[in-house]
Structure formats: structure tokens, C-alpha cells
Structure 1
Amino acid sequence: MNRNCSKTQVKELAPKTSHLKTGKKGEQIAANYLISIGYKIRGKNIRLSRDEIDILAYDPFDKVLVFAEVKTRTFYKEDILPSVNLTFSKKRKLCRSARRWIAKYKYEGGYRIDAVYIAAGKVLQHVKEIEWIDN
């Protein structure tokens, strides 16, 4: 540990750690959900340069690779849903991540980008083929 690190500095890091734990828990809930509906998980938290794919799965029904983005809230409130965090900028990054993965592995099959929204420890919604235009 850095001897210059004060207790105040350590306390300032606590919320980020909590945020990361919430995200990891949400990703595990989403992965379990996808498995329960028949998807095959191919990877989690895949880093591609500065981008990350939360979950890479295969949908055997539609026969496509799925790049799944997970958005998690620790609570459920109708006016503050996890979907509000899936901004246009984030959607662009998701598309870039998918393209990078496809190029890296020379994948030639079908794919789509989904979102799984988690609130209060439960799957709230699974959106297949997220919309790209914000209204």
C-alpha cells in the first residue's frame, strides 16, 4: 500500500468498489438468466483494447452470437430504470466492441447486440437487438 495514501483517500474509493461489485453481481444474474433460456455463454468481461463485452453468448434458437450489455440497479423504481444508463454513446461503443471482436476472430456468422436490465437482484427485461436511434 502506498504510504502517502490517507484514510480519506481510501474512503473515496469505496463507492467505486461497491459499484463494481453491483455490476459483477448483475452480470452473473444476467448470465444465469441467459443460460436458463437456453443460451450458451462463450465469455464474460471480454476486453478489447479500451472496450469491454459484458457477456458473449450463443442463441441456439436464432442461431446467432449475442453481445450482451448488462445494466444493473440495486433497487427497483419505475422512474429510474437501468435502461436509462444505456446511452447513445454506450450503444456506439457496444457496436464498436462487437465489430472489433468479429474482426479479431474472423467471425462470419450472424450476430446481434442485446441488453439485459437487472434491478433489485432480478432480471427486469431482456431486449433483443437493441434500438440504435434515441427518440
Structure 2
Amino acid sequence: MAIHNDLGHKGERIAKAYLEEKGYEILDENWVYGRAEIDLIAYKNGVMIFVEVKSRTSVAFGRPEEFVQKAKQKQMELASLKYIEIMSHQNEIRFDIIAITFKKDNTYTLNHINDAFWPED
């Protein structure tokens, strides 16, 4: 497996543990619909949360959350609509980003951005 894939999986494990610690229920991980993948789907207080996890080892080219661009947001929207249909969810939804920056000493910073974006046409 490529190093960047290892980093991504490590970030997703950290993000999942973080959300669970904060009282979120994890409904799905790496949920795929068509060409879109949603890293984590969580649930808390009646809200279904679609989470994109971005991990980086440096911010030299930008913070991890800056890499969740409009095309990715649109793909997440399409996948989320199908998931909502399957689950018959009738309440609020939101899209979050969890950005993780790893340091050389294997520590990291985690930035959880609630309601990070709303996909637009």
C-alpha cells in the first residue's frame, strides 16, 4: 500500500476515535456510492453527519481542509442523498471536515470543522 494511503487510513482511525470519544455514533466507514466515497458517516442528536477526513504531513502546500474542493463536495452530496434515502433519514444533515496534520515526532493536530460546507450547484 502506498504511504499516502497508510497516512489516510491512520487519519481516518484517529478521526473515528475522536468522534466516538465526543459521543458520535459511527454509522458507516468508507461508504461508496458510484464514484464517491464518504470517509465517515456519524450520527449525534438526530443529525446525520457526513465527514471527510484529510490528513497531511505538512502544511507547506496548504492546510488539509483546503483540499476538500467543490468537486469532492459535490460527490459527497450525491452519495449523501443516496445514503439518506437508504436510511430513510428525515432530520437534519451536515457536512464536516476533520483535518489532521502529522508532525515528524508522530504527534498530530486535529481540526474538526463542523458544518464545513454545503454543496452548491
- Could you say what the CA RMSD is over the residues aligned between the two structures, in angstroms? 2.1
Q: 2: CA distance between counterparts of 1:122 and 1:70?
A: 14
Alpha-carbon shift at residue 34 of structure 1 (Å): 0.6
Q: Which residues of 2 match residues 78-93 of structure 1 at below 5 A?
A: 80-93=62-75
| Partner residue, 1:124 | 110
Give the letter for the 2:77 counterpart: C
Q: Where is the helix percentage greater, Structure 1 or Structure 2?
A: 1
Number of residue-to-residue matches in the alignment: 116
Q: Which residues of 2 match residues 33-52 of structure 1 at below 5 A?
A: 33-52=18-37
Name the SS of the counterpart of 2:91 in structure 1.
coil
Alpha-carbon shift at residue 106 of structure 1 (Å): 2.5
Q: 2: CA distance between counterparts of 1:28 and 1:113?
A: 18
Q: 2: CA distance between counterparts of 1:90 and 1:96?
A: 10
| Structure with the greater alpha carbon radius of gyration | 1
Q: Structure 2 unaligned segments of length 5 or more: list them.
A: none
Q: 2: CA distance between counterparts of 1:102 and 1:32?
A: 23
Give the letter for the 2:47 counterpart: V
Q: Structure 1 unaligned segments of length 5 or more: list them.
A: 1-13
What is the percent sequence identity of the aligned residues?
30
Q: Which moved more, 1:112-121 or 1:124-133?
A: 124-133
TM-score w.r.t. the length of structure 1 is 0.76
TM-score w.r.t. the length of structure 2 is 0.84
| Partner residue, 1:29 | 14
- 1:55–1:68 Cα contact (<8 Å) kept: yes
